[in-house]
A and B are shown apart, each in its own frame.
Chain A
Amino acid sequence: MPSSSLLVRDLHVSFGPVEVLRGVDLEVPRGTTTCVIGPSGSGKSTLLRAINQLEPPSRGEVLLDGSGVADVNVLRRRIGMVFQHFNLFAHRTVLDNLVLPLRSVLRLSQEEARDRASRYLDRVGLADKAPFRPSALSGGQRQRVAIARALAMEPEVVLFDEATSALDPELVKGVLGLMAELSSAGMTMVVVTHEMGFAREVADQVCFLDHGLVVESGPPAAVFGSPTAPRLRKFLDQVL
């Protein structure tokens, strides 16, 4: 699995007069998983969206394996993203959801694209759903297809934006399991999540974000076990 380190330096994002990210630094070593936690409105999702330029940062840089990527489409090709609401292409079959970007972005032949798409669908356990429309799938299945779609591009880093928040409770476990599997397989991942159990068990590093700044970060044992920042302590009191 291709994998790179991700370095975020002094990232600022503003929506009009409101500065949502106020200088975020984040270092995600190759093959590790960083979970980003924090209250709603703290800028977690904006951080992920700024990393792949869905929200253009007003300042700061994003480095893959130590170097910046000038072409935004190349950057996005090298960084996969999984969304809260899956965002599968509603007019395409499950297989075509994977084939379309493989053809359009990586310029694979129809045959290569279908081969690779089937392989990745199989990997998330949904090979049998290939000919269906996304609307015929459960939320959990849709999210696994979305993960397969991101993985099929063979990105060096994958961002997960509250990937399980829109799922019915009984479907959450399957998706988190898949994410844990990817993490232990050596994928570089940044996971915005409300699942503190997942963060504690899977993350190599946990970052607590509040008001657009990283307030505290460290290994999960430290962040959850002996939090120092009062805001983090208050947040953990509320969610645990």
Chain B
Amino acid sequence: MSDLVDTFLNWDHITAVLPDLLRTGLVNTLILAGSSAVLGTVLGLGLALLGLSHRRWLRWPARVYTDIFRGLPAIVTILLVGQGLAVVARPVIGTNPYPLGILALSLIAAAYIGEIFRAGIQSVDKGQSEAARALGMTHVATMAKVVVPQGVRRVLPALVNQFIALVKDSSLVYFLGLLASQRDLFRIGQDVAANTGNLSPLVAAGLVYLLITVPLTHLVNFVDRRLRDGQPVRGGDTLAEFEPARA
């Protein structure tokens, strides 16, 4: 039993790896996940809008893209993009695997986020866009100012879930080969675990992941509750005061 505790929770190993985890691993994981979250959200919104287009030649590529990047294992996409484009991209980005790693993670995230946005935008009542169009607003203005803001608000919880997935998937970038300073949480934990023959450093890495993901999970619940409370179905009908006759 004490062997088991020592394997997973050796305090000396944990405290030894912690500075590296926080100073290097946490920073790199947040860079990877944060950049791909931003890029994936932008690409995803574009995909959603294309996927909702009335023009088949715009809609169709978006659907195919989504099917492919949602259907492939993340690691396959990361290796194909990260290694496949490395030769082409080397003159621009050198040998740093981060730009292509972030690109691969973003491409994957965009497929999921695009579907989330598409569902949100589709759930907005048709009357909203009709009212905007009837006032003379252009299609673009209607989407940008009326439909998309409401659709996005509705899917914020699902979006945060996707960010959580990104934090976890960012660990796969280690397959592209990382320098010591480029290592993320997983890689640092894994390296030290391999060197010491003890799993405690990996457990420490896992704890730092939880430090990011658990608050995000609660953020989802909080956002969800806020949105629910903020948009009651029958609104403030309870506040309705008697309508004075104006005739």
Interface residues of A (CB under 8 A from B): 52, 54, 73-74, 76-77, 80-81, 83, 85, 87-91, 100-101, 104-105, 125, 132-141, 146, 149-150, 153, 170-171, 173-174, 176-178, 180-181
Q: Which residues in A have their C-beta under 8 angstroms from that of B149? A: 91
In contact, B135 and A76 (Cβ under 8 angstroms): yes
> Interface size of B by Cβ–Cβ distance < 8 Å?
32
Q: Which residues in A have their C-beta under 8 angstroms from that of B240? A: 137-141
Which of B127, B135, B146, B241 touches A153 (beta carbons < 8 Å)? B135
B207 touches A (CB below 8 Å): no
Q: Which residues in A have their C-beta under 8 angstroms from that of B131? A: 81, 83, 87-89, 146
Which of A54, A139, A173 touches B133 (beta carbons < 8 Å)? A54
- Closest B residue by C-beta to A48: B134
- Give the one of B127, B231, B235, B246 with max A CB within 10 A: B246
- Closest B residue by C-beta to A132: B236
In contact, A74 and B136 (Cβ under 8 angstroms): yes
In contact, A135 and B231 (Cβ under 8 angstroms): yes
B228 touches A (CB below 8 Å): no
Q: Which residues in A have their C-beta under 8 angstroms from that of B244? A: 125, 174
Answer whether A181 and B246 are a contact pair too, CB < 8 Å, given A87-B130, A135-B236.
yes
- Please, how many angstroms separate the alpha-carbon atoms of A132 and B239 in the complex? 12
Answer whether A73 and B246 are a contact pair too, CB < 8 Å, given A104-B145, A138-B240, A141-B240.
no
In contact, B128 and A87 (Cβ under 8 angstroms): yes
In contact, A150 and B135 (Cβ under 8 angstroms): yes
Q: Which residues in A have their C-beta under 8 angstroms from that of B236? A: 132-133, 135-138
B9 touches A (CB below 8 Å): no
In contact, A174 and B132 (Cβ under 8 angstroms): no
Q: Which residues in B have their C-beta under 8 angstroms from that of A177? A: 245-247
Q: Could you jot down 25 A-B contacts, CB within 8 Å?
A: A54-B133, A73-B136, A74-B136, A76-B133, A76-B135, A80-B134, A81-B134, A81-B135, A83-B131, A88-B131, A89-B128, A91-B153, A105-B136, A132-B236, A136-B235, A137-B240, A139-B237, A139-B240, A141-B243, A149-B135, A173-B245, A174-B245, A176-B247, A177-B245, A178-B246
Q: Determine how close the nearest CB of chain B comes to the CB of A99; give it in whole angstroms.
A: 11
- Closest A residue by C-beta to B141: A104
- Please, how many angstroms separate the alpha-carbon atoms of A85 and B149 in the complex? 20
In contact, B127 and A180 (Cβ under 8 angstroms): no
Interface residues of B (CB under 8 A from A): 125, 127-128, 130-138, 141, 145-146, 149-150, 153, 231-232, 235-237, 239-247
- Please, how many angstroms separate the alpha-carbon atoms of A74 and B146 in the complex? 19
Q: Determine how close the nearest CB of chain B comes to the CB of A154; give it in whole angstroms.
A: 12
In contact, A174 and B136 (Cβ under 8 angstroms): no
In contact, A100 and B136 (Cβ under 8 angstroms): no
Using A76-B135, A135-B232 as known contacts, list a sample of 6 further A-B pairs with CB atoms less than 8 Å apart, ordered by residue number in A: A76-B134, A77-B136, A80-B135, A90-B128, A135-B235, A149-B135
- Please, how many angstroms separate the alpha-carbon atoms of A89 and B146 in the complex? 7
Q: Determine how close the nearest CB of chain A comes to the CB of B110; give it in whole angstroms.
A: 25
Answer whether A105 and B127 are a contact pair too, CB < 8 Å, given A140-B243, A174-B245, A180-B247.
no
Which of B128, B153, B232, B243 touches A174 (beta carbons < 8 Å)? B243
- Please, how many angstroms separate the alpha-carbon atoms of A223 and B145 in the complex? 44
Q: Which residues in B have their C-beta under 8 angstroms from that of A101? A: 132, 135-137
Q: Which residues in B have their C-beta under 8 angstroms from that of A76? A: 133-136
Q: Which residues in B have their C-beta under 8 angstroms from that of A181? A: 246
In contact, A138 and B241 (Cβ under 8 angstroms): yes
- Closest B residue by C-beta to A140: B243
In contact, A91 and B150 (Cβ under 8 angstroms): yes
In contact, A137 and B235 (Cβ under 8 angstroms): yes
- Please, how many angstroms separate the alpha-carbon atoms of A176 and B236 in the complex? 22
In contact, B130 and A105 (Cβ under 8 angstroms): no
Q: Which residues in B have their C-beta under 8 angstroms from that of A87? A: 125, 127-128, 130-131
In contact, B127 and A85 (Cβ under 8 angstroms): yes
In contact, B136 and A153 (Cβ under 8 angstroms): yes
- Please, how many angstroms separate the alpha-carbon atoms of A87 and B145 in the complex? 14
Q: Which residues in B have their C-beta under 8 angstroms from that of A77? A: 135-136
- Please, how many angstroms separate the alpha-carbon atoms of A136 and B138 in the complex? 28
